Amino acid sequence: MGTGCDVVGIGNALVDVIASADDAFLVTHGLAKGSMALVDAAGAERLYRAMGPAVEVSGGSAANTMAGLASLGSRSAFIGRVADDQLGEVFAHDLRAAGVAFDPPAVGPGGSPTGRSLIVVTPDAQRTMSTLLGAASELGPEDVDDEVVAAAEITYLEGYLFDRPAAREAFEKAAALSHGAGRRVAVSLSDSFCVERYRSEFLSLLESGADILFANQDELCLLGGTDDPDAALTGVERYCPLVVMTRGAAGSTVVAGGQRHDVEAVPVAHVVDTTGAGDLYAAGFLHGLVAGLDPATCGRLGAMAAAEVISHVGARPETPLAALAALLLG
Amino acid sequence: MGTGCDVVGIGNALVDVIASADDAFLVTHGLAKGSMALVDAAGAERLYRAMGPAVEVSGGSAANTMAGLASLGSRSAFIGRVADDQLGEVFAHDLRAAGVAFDPPAVGPGGSPTGRSLIVVTPDAQRTMSTLLGAASELGPEDVDDEVVAAAEITYLEGYLFDRPAAREAFEKAAALSHGAGRRVAVSLSDSFCVERYRSEFLSLLESGADILFANQDELCLLGGTDDPDAALTGVERYCPLVVMTRGAAGSTVVAGGQRHDVEAVPVAHVVDTTGAGDLYAAGFLHGLVAGLDPATCGRLGAMAAAEVISHVGARPETPLAALAALLLG
């Protein structure tokens, strides 16, 4: 893995298994639309059996963000765990083929299979995820490469890591390493339920020093303990110098150094699958940040990358984002 | 597997691994555009490493046709071999979720992995396939279920089976069983190179009794030993009472009982990926045949199913074809 990359992401290595279904399917299977729930092997098998024909594409929140950064021309790396199996091969291939440095720890036989996220896309293009972490759940502090993290301008951590104690240790170790090297730490809240489960932990993390926070409106409100997004922004801003709140089709708001910037969403003719929208917004934003662009322009890059990914099935760009960014930046 | 289905397909069980690339990629890797070549494990690994980020979707020529038939409302079954691995699970899930009966023979550990077809889609939407047969190559006559074949109105055999002696035995056993039960046998020629390799075998197969032949123009010319598609049709018609020749955007020609019917292609606004065009044409045609429709209408159903599948990535229908067929049939 190359040292000195722009952004290193740490997260769950997952292959997405994406199928269409109607809203009744969510009700039948007790799934909360738009959420991510962890499932065990039996639960995953039950759900998979009920799902229609599917498409497999590499996913994982932070991994998607790193693929987006590479597509934009930033140097990115990913730290996460896969098993020595076919889905692990698919995940590693797709990430490297996207231009992301990925050098996962060797694993012996007999462990958990590579993780997967069973994703149901409803006709409104919303995605509902049931994730079997598998090998991803074995990520621990020993997987965090000191050199890579210390040399990366930004270390990007997905909130989903909070679901497992060892992964949270990896998260905390990486944040400390990054700060120790005078670098910045970006955190994505990932999911409303995830914020609910770990609210106090997220708050103390912000206090101890997340430099950049990505959250959607619902997540930020939950974190701020208020129904008012503006109040939530103000509340969280005290802990974190750069807060980015996404609001879907309503755009995004960036609060940087006390200044507020509202950014419009990029209109999409036909929204197909919103999987990866937040991940790719973060990619565009971080790409701008690394390039030294102003917060509003970073937000516009994020909106552009998100628009690309929601216009097709799957959570990684199909069109080279660097070309789109060049158009946007003129 | 239910007895008494309309069509049972026998073929290679494959998962498609689809990536985009430009024409230069085909040149670099010595691939003949539009063809299917068999590769060994080392060749597959070399090519996969060079390919960009990919999408995995279930494929296999006859399996695609069976999925299309199920989508149209026909009862279909598939016979083919997968390994007990993740891609085998994906293949079996997708086929069953599409409504196709599939009950593959149990396999022990240590055999070949589930087969896959590495598919490169060029900007002109043409697909070029490099197939690692894997477990599919272990298909033999013992896998042909006598009851299922004898009870199916039509047994559909893909020409690719001719690439392995044991699979060809399965092919011949199934044809004999079907005819012995007074049923019909349909054969698809699959690929120009495949016809070149096995021309005399295909001709003797037609003589010994294929009732329905599917081929595109190039394949039929190779089989007929002529550059003139009309001469090829006339030549092959002597051996086979029903010959269907597809000609891409130029439509198709059906020769049934000495009568010729020219059928127009269904226009597609944006052709994305031609993988599965022939397979789905066959599905539409066979659905009409089983329903007792006239040859021209069967051809129109084929054209409709092909149009759906080339408008998106992947070789199986995304839109329920029964709804489209209802529109077409009024």
| Phi, psi (rounded to 5 degrees) for B228 | -100, 110
d(CA B183, CA A253) in angstroms, rounded, equals: 67
d(CA A127, CA A124) in angstroms, rounded, equals: 9
- Do the Cβ atoms of B127 and B310 come closer than 8 Å? no
Tell me the mean pLDDT in the region A223-235: 94
Categorize the per-residue pLDDT at A19 as very low, low, confident or very high, splitting at 50, 70 and 90: very high
| Phi, psi (rounded to 5 degrees) for A56 | -105, 125
Residue B307 has pLDDT above 70, yes or no: yes
Contacts of A278 (CB under 8 A, 6+ apart): A61, A188, A190, A214, A216, A246, A306
Whether B9 contacts chain A with CB within 8 A: no
Chain B positions touching A113 (Cβ under 8 A) are: 86
A48–B94: do the CB atoms touch at under 8 Å? no
Whether A94 contacts chain B with CB within 8 A: yes
d(CA A8, CA B311) in angstroms, rounded, equals: 37
A55–B51: do the CB atoms touch at under 8 Å? no
Q: Which of B241, B249, B252 is nearest to B215 (CA)?
A: B252
Whether A87 contacts chain B with CB within 8 A: yes
- Is A234 among the domain residues? yes
B55–A56: do the CB atoms touch at under 8 Å? yes
Q: Which of B87, B114, B314 is facing A55, going by the closest CB pair?
A: B314
Residue of B nearest to A55 (CA): B57
CA distance B22 to chain A (A): 14
B314–A58: do the CB atoms touch at under 8 Å? no
Q: Which domain holds residue B156?
A: 7-13+60-116+133-329
Cα–Cα distance list, B320 to A55, A56, B192, B325 (Å): 16, 20, 30, 9
What proportion of chain A, given as a percentage, has pLDDT over 70? Answer: 99
Q: What is the pLDDT of residue B3?
A: 55
Whether B326 contacts chain A with CB within 8 A: no
Whether B90 contacts chain A with CB within 8 A: yes
- Is B217 among the domain residues? yes
Cα–Cα distance list, A117 to A48, A100, B252 (Å): 10, 21, 42
- Is A145 among the domain residues? yes
Chain B positions touching A66 (Cβ under 8 A) are: none
Alpha helices, DSSP H, located in B84-151: 86-97, 146-151
Q: What is the pLDDT of residue A31?
A: 97
- Is B37 among the domain residues? no
- Do the Cβ atoms of B12 and B91 come closer than 8 Å? no
- Do the Cβ atoms of B160 and B171 come closer than 8 Å? no
Residue of A nearest to B87 (CA): A86
Number of domains in chain B: 1
Whether A314 contacts chain B with CB within 8 A: yes
A176-227 tens-digit pLDDT = 999 999 999 999 998 888 899 899 989 988 888 799 999 999 999 999 999 9
Distance of CA A75 to the CA centre of its chain: 17
Strand segments, DSSP code E, in chain A are 7-10, 14-20, 36-38, 55-58, 76-79, 101-102, 115-121, 127-132, 154-158, 184-188, 212-216, 242-246, 252-256, 259-263
d(CA A216, CA A228) in angstroms, rounded, equals: 13
Whether B97 contacts chain A with CB within 8 A: yes
Chain A positions touching B102 (Cβ under 8 A) are: none
A90–B54: do the CB atoms touch at under 8 Å? yes
Strand partners, B260: B255
Whether B86 contacts chain A with CB within 8 A: yes
- Do the Cβ atoms of B48 and B189 come closer than 8 Å? no
Q: What is the pLDDT of residue B173?
A: 95
Chain B positions touching A86 (Cβ under 8 A) are: 85-87, 113-114
Chain A positions touching B82 (Cβ under 8 A) are: none
Categorize the per-residue pLDDT at A3 as very low, low, confident or very high, splitting at 50, 70 and 90: low
- Is A39 among the domain residues? no
DSSP A29-49: TTPPTT-EEE--HHHHHHHHH
d(CA B214, CA B190) in angstroms, rounded, equals: 8
Distance of CA A43 to the CA centre of its chain: 24
- Is B47 among the domain residues? no
Chain B positions touching A53 (Cβ under 8 A) are: 58, 67, 93-94, 97-98, 316
CA distance B90 to chain A (A): 8
Residue A163 has pLDDT above 50, yes or no: yes
Q: Which of B211, B146, B209, B198 is nearest to B174 (CA)?
A: B146
Tell me the mean pLDDT in the region A137-149: 95
d(CA A162, CA A189) in angstroms, rounded, equals: 10
Tell me the mean pLDDT in the region B155-163: 92
Q: Tell me the two tokens of residue B199.
A: 């021309």
A52–B316: do the CB atoms touch at under 8 Å? no
Q: Which of A217, A215, A213 is nearest to A243 (CA)?
A: A213
CA distance A54 to chain B (A): 6
- Is A220 among the domain residues? yes
Tell me the residues of chain A between 214 and 253 that have a Cβ less than 8 Å away from chain B: none
Going by their DSSP bridges, the two strands B184-188 and B14-20 should be labelled as unpaired
DSSP A103-156: -PPP--TTSPPPEEEEEEE-TTS-EEEEEE-GGGGG--GGGS-HHHHHH-SEEE
B85–A87: do the CB atoms touch at under 8 Å? no
Contacts of A104 (CB under 8 A, 6+ apart): A13, A80, A81, A82, A88, A92
d(CA A162, CA A176) in angstroms, rounded, equals: 16
Burial class for A1, CB neighbours closer than 10 Å (0-12, 13-18, 19+): middle
B94–A53: do the CB atoms touch at under 8 Å? yes
Give me the CATH number covering residue B262: 3.40.1190.20
Contacts of B310 (CB under 8 A, 6+ apart): B125, B268, B271, B272, B273, B274, B276, B277
Residue of B nearest to A67 (CA): B53
Categorize the per-residue pLDDT at A1 as very low, low, confident or very high, splitting at 50, 70 and 90: very low
Burial class for B158, CB neighbours closer than 10 Å (0-12, 13-18, 19+): buried
Tell me the mean pLDDT in the region B48-68: 97
Q: What rounded mean pLDDT belongs to chain B? A: 94
- Do the Cβ atoms of B190 and B159 come closer than 8 Å? yes
B316–A53: do the CB atoms touch at under 8 Å? yes
B284-304 tens-digit pLDDT = 999 999 999 999 999 999 999
| Phi, psi (rounded to 5 degrees) for B168 | -65, -35
Tell me the mean pLDDT in the region B217-246: 94
Chain A positions touching B308 (Cβ under 8 A) are: none
- Do the Cβ atoms of B45 and B141 come closer than 8 Å? no
CA distance B68 to chain A (A): 12
Chain A positions touching B114 (Cβ under 8 A) are: 86
- Do the Cβ atoms of A125 and A21 come closer than 8 Å? no
Going by their DSSP bridges, the two strands A115-121 and A14-20 should be labelled as parallel
A102-113 tens-digit pLDDT = 999 888 778 899
Which of B48, B66, B86, B102 is the mutation pick for testing A, counting most A CBs within 10 A? B86
Residue of A nearest to B317 (CA): A53
Q: Tell me the two tokens of residue B152.
A: 């199916």
Q: What is the pLDDT of residue A4?
A: 85
CA distance B322 to chain A (A): 16
Backbone angle region of B18, left / alpha / beta, with phi > 0 → left and psi within -120 to 50 → alpha: beta
A90–B53: do the CB atoms touch at under 8 Å? no
What proportion of chain B, given as a percentage, has pLDDT over 70? Answer: 99
Tell me the mean pLDDT in the region A120-140: 95
Question: For residue B182, what is the DSSP state?
Answer: T
CA distance A33 to chain B (A): 22
A53–B58: do the CB atoms touch at under 8 Å? yes
Residue A2 has pLDDT above 80, yes or no: no
Residue B2 has pLDDT above 70, yes or no: no
Place of tokens 């044809």: B175
- Is B123 among the domain residues? no
